[in-house]
Structure 1
Amino acid sequence: MDAKVNRTKRVLSVFDFDGTLTHRDSFIPFLRFAFGKRLFARRLVKLAQPTFRCIRKKLTRDELKEVLIETFLTGVDEHWFRQQAEAFCSAYWARLMRPSGLLAVAAEVNSGAEVTICSASPAMVLQPFADRLGIKLIGTLLEVADGKLTGRITGHNCRCGQKVKRLESIYGQLEEYHLRAWGDTRGDYELLATAQDAHWRHFHPAWSKLRSPVKKLSLAERNR
């Protein structure tokens, strides 16, 4: 019965970006690319203490990311930033993207599904990648005032439960869709638990797929 119902629902296919569609994180390499190695290194030094505090659980991942964004992006021209994002996409596409991930995205698009990236990385950085893939994008929003980045984010970092909330804010109740999701880190657990089709590290080598949280989380979600 459930299978018949699912076939009548629209399919919403959601891909995490960093580590899922890519071989590695994209934001730090983008910052190094955009600001150059010397300026990048100088500013990175300022993050040593906050990073140490994060390791000691004195600072959350979200708070550390806010410090990173404030350190690098305060007062940066929005137009320049978007230009750098376009250039980064062109320069890093081949080395960053997983071929198997690209094929999976294309297959979902060709099947008629609604397809989107849902990522904690800044949407401005990932927009050229989403455009090239021909799909939609949900990401962390950078605050802009008078054409300049303020060094703050708008709303919340798009990870963990925020991924589900952002999807619902755009697509409505997710129960109305047959939700397919791909992820690879703790930040994707809630998304994967919500999906009828959950794929943990689907494009990774076989050894990295061990101890998948998908089944356990899905059962926990259904028993709430």
Structure 2
Amino acid sequence: MVNLALFDFDHTLTHTDSFKAFLSYSLSKTAYYKGHFKLLHYIVGYQCKMITDQKLRQKICQTAFAQYHKKQLLEIGRTFADTYLDQIISPHAKQRLTWHQSQGDRVVVVSSSLDVYLKPWCEKQGIDVICNQMTDNGTHYTGVFLGGDCGYEEKARRVQQRYNLTDYEQIFAYGDSNNDSAMLALADQKFYRWQKQ
């Protein structure tokens, strides 16, 4: 039997936030700042703990990517994955990924970030991904998340939906925030901010 290794992405595998970087990368300066101004009350609400990060993420994507051409954003996401993501992967995180792969473990990134750039990066690494996907009308994105935001309990639910956990000898999980708590609870070997729990 092989092991299952579950990794959060932002601030676990990376040393910075990929979602914010992708917003800057994929939007014009005008669109970025107009969107920021439009969402200011949501941002303040989040900082004051009046709304959740899940709600804020969904509002950001609805503002930034509604009516964004699907083919164009997928191309931008692939380029972002190829040129940027490897630069923000922490060396010790890359080492741990490689270790799990060398053991023959099934490795999965479980993230609240977007599939338009996480999917091509994970495919390149030969690992699975569970993350936020936006719905589309065939040609353009709506900005709405398919099945809601992939955070908190939803991370654990989607892992259990995709994998039969009893098929694995041990489950490892790596996270850095409360967003990962439910996923960490699935694991035999839990690592929070790289410290074994």
Same fold flag (TM > 0.5): yes
Task: Determine which structure has more spread, i.e. the larger CA radius of gyration.
Answer: 1
Aligned to 1:76: 68
| Residue 27 (structure 1) aligned with residue 29 (structure 2) | no
Whole-Å separation in 1 of the counterparts to 2:95 and 2:13: 10
Aligned to 1:167: 159
Instruction: Please list every run of 5 or more consecutive structure 2 residues that lacks an aligned counterpart in the other structure.
Output: none
Q: Larger relative CO (CA 8 A, sep 6+): 1 or 2?
A: 2
Compute the displacement of 1:94 (Å). Answer: 4.1
Among candidates 41, 55, 58, match of residue 47 of structure 2: 55
Superposed, 1:70-149 pairs within 5 Å as 70-149=62-141
- Would you say how many aligned residue pairs link Structure 1 and Structure 2? 196
State the one-letter code of the partner of 1:192. Answer: L
Q: Aligned-pair RMSD on alpha carbons?
A: 1.6
1:18–1:25 Cα contact (<8 Å) kept: yes
Superposed, 1:8-19 pairs within 5 Å as 9-19=1-11
2:171–2:188 Cα contact (<8 Å) kept: yes
Q: Higher mean Cα deviation, 71-80 or 39-48?
A: 39-48
Compute the displacement of 1:127 (Å). Answer: 1.1
Instruction: Please list every run of 5 or more consecutive structure 1 residues that lacks an aligned counterpart in the other structure.
Output: 1-8, 203-208, 216-224
Aligned to 1:184: 176
Whole-Å separation in 2 of the counterparts to 1:48 and 1:26: 20
2:78–2:116 Cα contact (<8 Å) kept: no
Compute the displacement of 1:129 (Å). Answer: 1.5
Q: TM-score, normalised by structure 1?
A: 0.82
Q: TM-score, normalised by structure 2?
A: 0.93
1:27–1:125 Cα contact (<8 Å) kept: no
